[in-house]
């Protein structure tokens, strides 16, 4: 799947991407190279940023005409890296293609959880939730956390970590089906459909009557503005992402930033890859919690690489129920 052209104005569309068939022969490039048959690809919101050429970002833009890429799961077919051999299943960075050179690899197995979970619960999304909740939010037992995009790849993990830790957990999502999942599967104490609330401030006052100690920010815009009005003194905001703004040229203004001072808030943005020192404890704890049956995970897997553009665009529009990925070939 290649990007046809950068999308600097307006909404990204499926037609901005293209399925291209080539017969390029992939060969190992010297030492420590690995080529994989791609099994799964991850659809992540940050990929929208890589479709642009005009915004300062922590990841470089895609090159038009070249394959898109990102996190994936693959089966090693050729390797000159002594750490990986033919037949190993690995997670890491790879092209949106049937076969690809692959980088920053970790071996994975499907023993505790399905291998696709290494793109979600035990992958970048789960790690983001772990860093954001346990480190950036500085939680204390009994506190109230509010999570936006709460049923998504990151949000469903944040809510469950917070419940395991002993917090009161409130979430919002964009459909009744997602709200039902939050309460019935992920253990949220309260949940609401933000699309049906004409007054977000009023909704937050209703579902978080004592105020919000921690906000796990996934969406930005009007939601952030309403949350600022409802934060308790010395509250923490973990700014993880602002997906409501990714397709916008001009970012929505935030009116209530003065509340960071009035309420003595800490608002901290973070990128999961700056916290890799937490990865060993993340794998140990999260694998353990899955083994003990304490965690659930919901995935939305599109079947076939040709579905990747629709899956990515659909996720940015909220069509995904849980972690959006694409199955490219059988494990």
- Binding status of residue 225 toward ligand NDP by CB under 6 A: no
- Binding status of residue 155 toward ligand NDP by CB under 6 A: yes
- Binding status of residue 219 toward ligand NDP by CB under 6 A: yes
Candidates 147, 224, 240, 308; binder of ligand NDP (CB under 6 A) is 240
- Binding status of residue 72 toward ligand NDP by CB under 6 A: no
Candidates 6, 33, 37, 46; binder of ligand NDP (CB under 6 A) is 46
Candidates 154, 181, 214, 311; binder of ligand NDP (CB under 6 A) is 154
Task: With both helix axes pointing from N to C terminus, report the angle between 200-207 and 222-230 in degrees, rounded to the nearest 10.
Answer: 40
Candidates 12, 17, 102, 125; binder of ligand NDP (CB under 6 A) is 125
Q: Which residues of 44-70 are buried (b: 16+ CB within 10 A; e: fewer)?
A: bbebbbbbbeeeeeeeebbeeeebbbb
Best CA proximity match to 208, nearest among 182, 227, 184: 227
- Binding status of residue 271 toward ligand NDP by CB under 6 A: yes
Using the contact rule CB under 6 A, the part of the chain among 11-19, 44-52, 76-84, 137-145 near ligand NDP is 44-52
Candidates 89, 144, 272, 325; binder of ligand NDP (CB under 6 A) is 272
Distances (CA, A) of 125 to 34, 106, 166, 282, 321: 24, 16, 21, 12, 14
- The nearer residue to ligand NDP, 121 or 242, going by C-beta atoms, is 242
State the DSSP string of 192-204: EEGGG-S-HHHHH
Q: Which two tokens stand for residue 22?
A: 């080539």
Q: What is the total count of residues that contact ligand NDP (CB under 6 A)?
A: 30
Dihedral of the alpha carbons of 232, 233, 234, 240, in degrees to the nearest 10:
30
Q: Which two tokens stand for residue 291?
A: 């083994």
CB of 191 to ligand NDP, least distance (A): 10
For the chain, the farthest-separated pair of C-alpha atoms sits apart, in whole angstroms, at 62
- The nearer residue to ligand NDP, 64 or 318, going by C-beta atoms, is 318
Best CA proximity match to 139, nearest among 266, 289, 291: 266
- Binding status of residue 67 toward ligand NDP by CB under 6 A: no
- Binding status of residue 204 toward ligand NDP by CB under 6 A: no
CB of 1 to ligand NDP, least distance (A): 18
Candidates 315, 326, 327, 328; binder of ligand NDP (CB under 6 A) is 315
Given a contact cutoff of 8 angstroms between Cβ atoms, the answer to whether 103 and 129 are in contact is no
Residues in the chain: 331
Q: Which residues of the shown chain bind ligand NDP in the complex (CB under 6 A)?
A: 44-46, 124-125, 128, 149, 152-155, 173-175, 178, 218-219, 240-244, 270-272, 315, 318, 320, 323-324
């Amino acid at each position: 799947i290649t990007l046809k052209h950068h999308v600097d104005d307006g909404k990204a569309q499926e037609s901005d991407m293209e399925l291209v068939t080539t017969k390029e022969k992939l060969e190992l490039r010297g030492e420590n190279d690995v080529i994989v048959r791609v099994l799964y690809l991850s659809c992540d919101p940050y990929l929208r940023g890589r479709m642009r050429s005009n915004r300062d970002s922590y990841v470089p833009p895609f090159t038009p005409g070249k394959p898109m890429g990102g996190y994936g799961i693959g089966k090693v077919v050729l390797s000159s890296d002594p750490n990986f051999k033919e037949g190993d299943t690995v997670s890491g960075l790879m092209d949106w293609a049937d076969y690809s050179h692959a980088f920053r690899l970790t071996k994975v197995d499907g023993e505790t959880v399905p291998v696709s979970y290494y793109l979600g619960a035990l992958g970048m999304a789960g790690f983001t939730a772990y860093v954001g909740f346990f480190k950036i939010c500085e939680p204390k037992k009994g506190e109230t956390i509010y999570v936006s995009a709460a049923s998504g790849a990151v949000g469903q993990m944040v809510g469950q970590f917070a419940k395991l830790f002993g917090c009161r957990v409130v979430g919002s999502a964009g459909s009744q089906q997602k709200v039902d999942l939050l309460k019935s599967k992920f253990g949220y104490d309260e949940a609401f459909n933000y699309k049906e609330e004409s007054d977000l401030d009023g909704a937050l006052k209703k579902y978080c009557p004592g105020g919000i100690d921690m906000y796990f920010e996934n969406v930005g815009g009007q939601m952030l503005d309403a949350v600022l009005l409802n934060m308790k003194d010395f509250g923490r905001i973990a700014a993880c992402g602002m997906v409501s703004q990714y397709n916008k040229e001009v970012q929505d203004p935030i009116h209530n930033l003065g509340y960071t001072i009035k309420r003595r808030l800490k608002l901290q943005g973070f990128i999961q890859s700056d916290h890799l020192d937490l990865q060993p404890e993340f794998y140990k704890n999260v694998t353990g919690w899955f083994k003990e049956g304490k965690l659930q995970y919901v995935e939305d897997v599109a079947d076939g690489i040709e579905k990747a553009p629709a899956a990515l665009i659909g996720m940015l529009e909220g069509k995904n129920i849980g972690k959006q990925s694409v199955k490219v070939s059988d494990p």
